[in-house]
Amino acid sequence: MKTVLLLALVAALAPASSARDPEDRLWLLSIGGITLGPAEYVDAFTIETWAVRIRAVCRIPHGWTIRAGGRASPDGVIAGEASHGVTFLADSRLAQLKRLVLVRIPAGAEMRDRLSEDRYQPLLFDGRAEIGTYGNDESRRRTARIGRSNMRLTPAQRCPEPAD
């Protein structure tokens, strides 16, 4: 009798647990759309996430440290920092931020670039890129906001094979 009840319970719960919404899937996240001047470079970035499950760091640009993860709450972070001047990413090397992280975004999550005026609505991605200028002029450093419009999401099952 116990076996029959257990099998009935498993059969009743199986469709609910295995029927995942097709929108709740894995995505390969790339960072793009950062506008740089001719002598500028990116040497760090930080992206705060909300309700995004980070599954894997797929790519680490040479000479960079990438940190990615979440907390017990729905917020998390994806951050990177160059170690030395030769590893900074000038415009011609920004493609190294493509196919960076494998993430899971829950079905129904809205991609927002700003908060609603009438109630708090968390952003899925909100961050900044640290931009410097080649030479010794530290006064020309700036911070550029990077948000949803800078995130490129491509459906994926896993990280791509390394090119090098």
Tokens in use for 3?
Answer: 């076996």
Q: Is the pLDDT of residue 160 over 80?
A: yes
131 — pLDDT class (breaks 50, 70, 90): very high
Per the domain annotation, does 103 fall within a domain?
yes
The whole domain housing 134 covers: 22-155
pLDDT digit string (tens) for 79-110?
Answer: 999 999 899 999 999 999 999 999 998 876 66
Helix (H) or strand (E) holding 145: strand 142-147
Per the domain annotation, does 147 fall within a domain?
yes
Per the domain annotation, does 148 fall within a domain?
yes
- Overall average pLDDT of the 128-157 stretch: 90
d(CA 131, CA 151): 18
d(CA 59, CA 27): 14
- pLDDT value at residue 25: 83
pLDDT digit string (tens) for 15-62?
Answer: 333 344 455 689 999 999 999 998 999 999 999 998 899 999 999 999
CATH number at residue 52: 2.60.40
Query: Which of helix, strand or coil describes residue 19?
Result: coil
12 — pLDDT class (breaks 50, 70, 90): very low
Residue 95: partners with Cβ closer than 8 Å, 6 or more residues away: none
Length of the chain: 164
Per the domain annotation, does 82 fall within a domain?
yes
Nearest CA-CA partner of 43 in 23, 65, 18 = 65
Per the domain annotation, does 69 fall within a domain?
yes
Per the domain annotation, does 75 fall within a domain?
yes
**Structural domain tally of the chain?**
1
- pLDDT value at residue 118: 53
Per the domain annotation, does 11 fall within a domain?
no
Model confidence, pTM: 0.77
Kindly report the average pLDDT of the chain as a whole number.
81
Largest CA distance in the chain: 79
- pLDDT value at residue 139: 73
- pLDDT value at residue 140: 83
- pLDDT value at residue 19: 41
* R_g over Cα of the chain: 20
Per the domain annotation, does 135 fall within a domain?
yes
Main-chain dihedrals φ then ψ at residue 37, nearest 5 degrees:
-75, 175
